[in-house]
Amino acid sequence: MGHHNTLPRREHELLRKRYDRMVTGAPDSPHLLRILSLLYTPEEANLARQLPSRPQRLEDLARHTGMAPEALDDRLTDMARRGLVLDLNYKGERYFVLPPVVVGFFEFLFMRTRDELPMKELAALFDAYMYEDNRFAESVFAGQTQVGRALTHEEALENQDFTEILDWERATRIIGTASAIGVSLCACRHKKQHLGEVCDAPMEVCFSLNGGADTLIRSGIARRVETGEAMALLEQSKAAGLVQTGDNVQRNMTYMCNCCGCCCGMLNAIKKFDMPNVVVAAGWVMEVDQEACTGCGKCAAVCPIDAITLREETRVDGRKKRHAVCDGALCLGCGVCYASCKAGAIVLHRREPRLLPPETTFDRVVQMAIERGKLADLLFDEPETLGFKALGRMLAMLERTPPVRALMAIEPLRSAFLNALVAKAKKNF
């Protein structure tokens, strides 16, 4: 097992560089190298860095690595069980993919108990890697397109026209229509538990959905639940004041988290590094009826990212009045504050302009690659697996990208063809 290693090897540094070429990156750090040495043997690290970031058939991987399919199957299945690779089934064929650091093997490591690993040391290493400085956060959350988005507590929208609330904006609809649902430990709270810093929020409330659920259930990372139990866990999470965040796509979401402001890696990055774009805000924003507000401060206390403050003003008659104020630019639109207000002073309004998530995971990853200047890494990760249809979708997204950003994305490709194609697409700009 990988945790028998005591010192990082060259194979672990090469694997770290492989992770860094992914869209969300993995900046160099002794903490990350130590993590990789605990999880991967040198042989496993060498194999992992040959895996693509897009699903590839076992037979193709066997040819690429030079391993016999049966031996490779055994090795990758074991690594999938340990959360180091993802094992996918599609139309009766096996596919494998290397997940990023987040949302990826960090979550898969802490989404269940692991007696065979030094979990306390790993928790401390991940905490240091994520928060000792801002390099990891700047890498993962660069650009405008993010991995995750916030969803709004639907109870906070009771005064809205529900015909204007789309299916991908409703947590209940997302869960209710999922083809499969898995539930696991909250990776962030589990990590904090090993550090003695966990809060009292519910722990087993991390949902995997659809194909993502099938994959994690098969590897033992999640347990399968029916829709009724998932809905009950959702209600328990909302009652505990947790924020629903999920896959930043419109179709076939793969996960939904129930996050607290004290343990969640994304919400903590917002506060610690002053990065309001870490989570894409929901399509709603909180506003306060200052006349109705009693200034009790309960909404400010429950806001997971400290977007609400209290302000005291002197009225014309000389009386002092304290009321809540929300920073609309920071507000996630999560609606957690709504249930805390007994005075009925909180209302959520539609956020303008209305931003739409990418349609699919493929679209999200391509948008992130363009914004982060990593389109070349994505395109040439495993070029033989990228069909003409996928390439066409990439180029179509480039055509819709602002010219400066598009040029930054294609410059590393050094391709006269692509440069000419984008130049033609932008000629009327």
Domains of the chain, with CATH numbers? Answer: 2-139 (1.10.10), 143-272 (no CATH), 284-350 (3.30.70.3270), 361-425 (no CATH)
CA 13 to chain centre: 24
Residue 315's pLDDT is what? 81
Residue 420 has pLDDT above 60, yes or no: no
End-to-end Cα separation, the chain, in angstroms: 56
Q: Taking residues 60-75, what's their average pLDDT?
A: 95
Q: Taking residues 101-117, what's their average pLDDT?
A: 96
Give the predicted TM-score (pTM) of the model.
0.88
Residue 92's pLDDT is what? 86
Burial 172-206 (b: 16+ CB within 10 A, else e): bebbeebebbbbbbbbbbbbbbbeeebeebeebbb
Residue 384 has pLDDT above 90, yes or no: no
Round the average pLDDT of the chain to a whole number and report it: 89
Strand (E) or helix (H) holding 378 = helix 375-379
Banded pLDDT at 1 (limits 50, 70, 90) = very low
Banded pLDDT at 423 (limits 50, 70, 90) = low
CA distances from 208 to 82, 88, 182, 260, 267 (A): 17, 14, 5, 18, 19
Banded pLDDT at 372 (limits 50, 70, 90) = confident
- Which is more confident, 56 or 416? 56
Residue 381 has pLDDT above 80, yes or no: no
Q: Taking residues 402-413, what's their average pLDDT?
A: 53
Q: Taking residues 347-353, what's their average pLDDT?
A: 92
Strand-pair category, 206-209 with 148-150: unpaired
Q: Taking residues 312-341, what's their average pLDDT?
A: 93
